[in-house]
Structure 1
Amino acid sequence: MKNDESPISEAGVKLKNMMGVVPLFAGFPPEMVEQLQKAASVLNFEPEQTILKQGELNKNLFFLVIGTVDVFVDGGIVASLRRKGDLLGEMSVITAKPCSATIVAQTPVELICINVDLFKQILGDRQDQFDHILYRIYSKILTDKVSITNERAKKVESALSALERAKAELQDINAQMERRVVERTQSLQTKLQELLNEHLNKLHDSLKSASEKSSDDTKSIFSEGLQKVDEVVRFLEPLVQRFDLEVSMKNKRVLLAQGERKAQTLSKMALGGTGITIDAAATFEESQEKVKTEKYDVILVDSDTVTLTETIQKISPQTKIV
């Protein structure tokens, strides 16, 4: 604070000028205004300087002339005052108790300070009239604050209602998106199965036709090919049953613990494009290491890795084994 208090005459002039523009002063009779000027002084504060401190006694009334001040309660900002004529410190003067808030200059601030003890000495036996006016002013300020609080409460209530509506709309949109994902994945499952069956049927028919037209020497070769196709079909049946491509498959992880590269290739063809993460291991040791370090939803085993089942059940009982 710049401790350069202006002469009372200067403070009186500024106070008198405020009387005509600040409704707060309407309750002061003209003769009391003249006496009020005698107890007035002008104070200037720089930004971040403290005007009133919570917990400390105060015996002055402050009227804001220029600038903005912030009001803090227990270290948290609760309001900012910037209107010409805003009153500071009135509650501590009325109750004769320590300040309930800290007031800090946000910008360069000019205040008119009324020394209440001096003013009451000047008033003499008219102190009760001043107290009555002060209570009336405080009641007006409190009413305005309650009105502002009510308006803010209505806005908050409106905002909360809007948030609830937005939440419900988002939940509905999310549900629609989930349904669409399920529909798309189910459609993908159907198309994948149809495409797979189509290719296998064509291959089967082609081999069968070629076998019928071939010589006895080559029929056995085609017959063996047909058997292989049937093996592939039988191999894929549990995959189709197990992995019906629901939405959750996008986050599934599968380990192909199969020694034969051909079996791994067929499994990858069947599962590729579904969103499943696929790992492959060709040996028992490699499979065992992956089971210990990664979490899998499904593990495909063959005759070379079937003994891995016991290890899997110990480490991850919830993992499905095919």
Structure 2
Amino acid sequence: MSELTSKERSLLKNSPLLQTLTEADFEELINISHVVTFNTGQTLLIEGEYSDDIYVIILGQVNLYKKSSAGKKRSLITTLSSGESLGEMRLIKDQPCSLTVEADTPVKLLRLSIQVLKSKPFQHLLNALTLSLAKILSARLTSDNQLVSDKIVERDKKSTQLWVSLIVIFALILFLLEVGLGLYYFLNTDDFCELKIQHSNYIPNTRS
């Protein structure tokens, strides 16, 4: 395994997936792992295929892509960088990769083997990583819930603003109508007065 600098070891030790490990467990994990590198554009994981690898990014960035339902196009989902992990969901469920991962820049990563972690001598490491994964998923769920809550508040705020705007517009229309009628009566005072006089002088015929 390539030698890790003290800065790289510190970054790995404080990464979300590895931060709950004891010092002894961390050192043991490092000893059974491998440091690997990929050039820009190289593929780490392929959507729909099985992989035994979990990665923790040490240096560089990777892009995550998802195929369209037709499978002809793919969309960039997100970009991950130093300290973030890839493929960790397979610690709790054996399933194909849900995304394709490609190096956006030259990258250096710590590669862990799921098969090795599930072997009896390293079961304690698997348990520790599973606990870390549970905390990561909990944090993501909390973040997603907050995002949904914020969107609901924003939607309600926009709805309230819309009603206020409609009320203001309606009031403005009434005001303009009132002003318009006032101007009409002002500009046609003689006609208006003549109409009132004619109305007051009108005597209905009550004879049968």
TM-score, normalization: structure 1?
0.48
**Offset at residue 78 of structure 1 (A):** 4.8
Query: In the comparison of the two structures, how many residue pairs are matched?
Result: 186
Structure 1 segments, 4+ long, off by >6 Å, are: none
Aligned pairs for 1:232-243 within 5 A: none
Distance apart, 1:133 and its partner CA: 2.1
Show the counterpart of 1:86. Answer: 84
Indicate if the aligned counterparts of 1:91 and 1:99 stay in contact, CA closer than 8 A.
no
1:25 aligns to 2:22 (yes or no): no
Q: Tell whether 2:94 aligns with 1:116.
A: no
Paired position in structure 1 for 2:121: 126
RMSD, matched Cα? 3.3
Structure 2: give runs of 5+ residues left out of the alignment: 68-73, 195-208
Residue 48 of structure 2: aligned partner: 55
Structure with greater helix share of residues = 1
What CA distance in whole angstroms lies between the structure 2 residues aligned with 1:194 and 1:151?
63
Distance 2:174 2:61 in 1: 55
Task: Report the 3-state secondary structure (helix = DSSP H, G, I; strand = E; otherwise coil) of the residue aligned with 1:55.
Answer: coil
Normalized against structure 2, the TM-score is what?
A: 0.69
CA contact (8 A) 1:92 1:100 kept: no
User: Deviation at 1:17?
Assistant: 3.4
Inter-partner Cα distance in structure 1 for 2:47 and 2:173: 55
% identical aligned pairs: 20
Alpha-carbon distance in 2 for matches of 1:93, 1:12:
27
Q: Who is 1:100 aligned against? A: 98
Offset from partner CA, 1:179-238 (integer Å, 9 cap, x none):
12322332343345347x59xx9xxxxxxxxxxxxxxxxxxxxxxxxxxxxxxxxxxxxx
After TM superposition, the structure 1 = structure 2 runs for residues 1-322 of structure 1, keeping only pairs within 5 Å, are: 8-10=1-3, 16-22=9-15, 24-29=17-22, 30=24, 33-46=27-40, 50-74=43-67, 75-82=74-81, 84-106=82-104, 109-117=107-115, 119-120=116-117, 125-194=120-189, 197=191
Q: Pick the structure with greater CA Rg.
A: 1
- TM superposition shift of 1:174: 1.2
Gap regions ≥5 residues in structure 1: 1-7, 202-322
Tell me how far apart the structure 2 counterparts of residues 33 and 170 of structure 1 sit (CA, whole Å): 63
Give 3-state SS (helix, strand or coil) of 1:25's partner: coil
Task: Measure, in 2, the Cα distance between the counterparts of 1:95 and 1:182.
Answer: 69
Assess, with a 3 A threshold, how the Cα gap between structure 1 residues 52 and 124 changes in structure 2: closer, same or farther: closer
